[in-house]
């Protein structure tokens, strides 16, 4: 598998023409569909629920990378598995028993991811890396698309990459928030292997070309 993987965020798609945008991602060199699930409690926004996810799954030809920005995600692990999630990421800040949650996600046949907010130190993940397939570093405060990239994120990704090497795990590093054609190369140089891009892709006049350029970062 060649990195970076590119995961266009459907939160920035045109929901009036969602099937059109899904088919564009299918045609493109993108690797995953990124779905942000928000409950209005963990983050100050609400996105979409299971009917929309199942509709996306019906048309998507690539894995669904589902990012849960919700409280008590354990209640919904079965439902997201049934809805077709390939990767399921929960927030460190939302899980009381994170190790158990990640193990359960794996047991249900999905890759298990853990996400951290900008204020959360990567050091807090050291004990969990052996059971995490992916760590999602939020490079904006979660809840809304189109925010400005937090520059400190490069150092955070570098520290996380060093920790992964030290523990000998094969955990992937994903970055979400303010990813652009201008900073994609710096992110991959720092150690990011999965780039989530919303506005950068869907606001582009040539989204497939934008995805191609991100793939080559």
Query: Active site residue: 21, 31, 39, 176, which one?
Result: 176
Q: How confident is the model at residue 148 (pLDDT cuts 50, 70, 90)?
A: confident
CATH number, domain containing residue 137: 3.20.20.70
**Does residue 14 have an active-site annotation?**
no
Residues spanned by the domain of 116: 5-215
Residue 64 tokens read as 């669904």
Q: Domain total for the chain? A: 1
Q: pLDDT tens digit string along 108-136?
A: 999 999 999 999 999 999 999 999 999 99
Cα separation, 136 vs 116, in Å, equals 6
Q: pLDDT tens digit string along 152-191?
A: 999 999 999 999 999 999 999 999 999 999 999 999 999 9
pLDDT at 145 over 80: no
| Residue with tokens 């991811």, as numbered in its chain | 113
Q: How confident is the model at residue 62 (pLDDT cuts 50, 70, 90)?
A: very high
Output the pLDDT for position 144.
62
pLDDT at 18 over 70: yes
Q: How far are the Cα atoms of 11, 12, 62, 159 from residue 145, in angstroms, in the given order?
A: 7, 7, 22, 25
pLDDT at 44 over 90: no
Across the range 141-149, mean pLDDT stands at 72
Query: Active site residue: 36, 39, 65, 133, which one?
Result: 36
Q: How confident is the model at residue 67 (pLDDT cuts 50, 70, 90)?
A: very high
pLDDT at 105 over 90: yes
Output the pLDDT for position 209.
98
Q: How far are the Cα atoms of 70, 73, 121, 132, 192 from residue 49, in angstroms, in the given order?
A: 12, 13, 30, 24, 28
Q: How confident is the model at residue 1 (pLDDT cuts 50, 70, 90)?
A: confident
pTM, full prediction? 0.95
Q: Which residue has the higher pLDDT, 192 or 49?
A: 192
> What percent of the chain is modeled with pLDDT above 70?
98
Cα separation, 217 vs 206, in Å, equals 17
**Does residue 176 have an active-site annotation?**
yes
């Amino acid at each position: 598998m060649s990195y970076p993987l590119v995961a266009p965020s459907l939160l920035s798609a045109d929901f009036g023409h969602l099937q059109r945008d899904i088919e564009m991602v299918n045609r493109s060199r993108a690797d995953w569909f990124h779905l942000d699930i928000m409950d209005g409690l963990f983050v100050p926004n609400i996105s979409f629920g299971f009917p929309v996810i199942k509709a996306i799954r019906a048309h998507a030809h690539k894995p669904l990378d589902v990012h849960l920005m919700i409280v008590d995600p354990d209640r919904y692990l079965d439902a997201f598995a049934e809805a077709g999630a390939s990767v399921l990421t929960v927030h460190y800040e939302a899980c009381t028993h994170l190790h158990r949650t990640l193990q359960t996600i794996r047991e249900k046949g999905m890759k298990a991811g853990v996400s951290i907010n900008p204020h959360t130190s990567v050091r807090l993940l050291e004990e969990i890396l052996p059971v995490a397939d992916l760590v999602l570093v939020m490079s904006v405060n979660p809840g809304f698309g189109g925010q400005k990239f937090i520059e400190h994120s490069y150092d955070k990704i570098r520290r996380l990459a060093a920790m992964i090497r030290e523990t000998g795990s094969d955990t992937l590093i994903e970055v979400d928030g303010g990813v652009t054609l201008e900073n994609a190369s710096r992110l991959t140089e720092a150690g990011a292997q999965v780039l989530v891009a919303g506005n950068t892709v869907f606001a582009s006049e040539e989204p497939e070309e934008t995805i191609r350029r991100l793939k080559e970062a």
